[in-house]
Amino acid sequence: MRKLSPEARQERRRQVIKLRRQGWTYEAIAAELGLSRTGVFDICKRFDE
């Protein structure tokens, strides 16, 4: 699997946080963006720090 560019990673983080603030579940965000539930959770956890 190819790594995303820093800009693409930042955009993905923005999408995750936006959806989470709209009340989406970790599972729904993961399915929508093609990530794992754990990956979504980790992004949200780091954002809250």
pLDDT tens track for 1-49: 568 899 999 999 999 999 999 999 999 999 999 999 999 999 999 998 6
1 within a domain of the structure (yes/no): no
- Only one residue has tokens 């979504």, namely 40
Token pair of 8, please? 């693409």
Cβ neighbourhood burial of 37 (10 Å; 0-12, 13-18, 19+) = middle
30 within a domain of the structure (yes/no): yes
Count the domains in the chain. 1
CB 43 within 8 A of CB 17: yes
15 within a domain of the structure (yes/no): yes
The whole domain housing 15 covers 6-48
What is the pLDDT at residue 1?
A: 57
10 within a domain of the structure (yes/no): yes
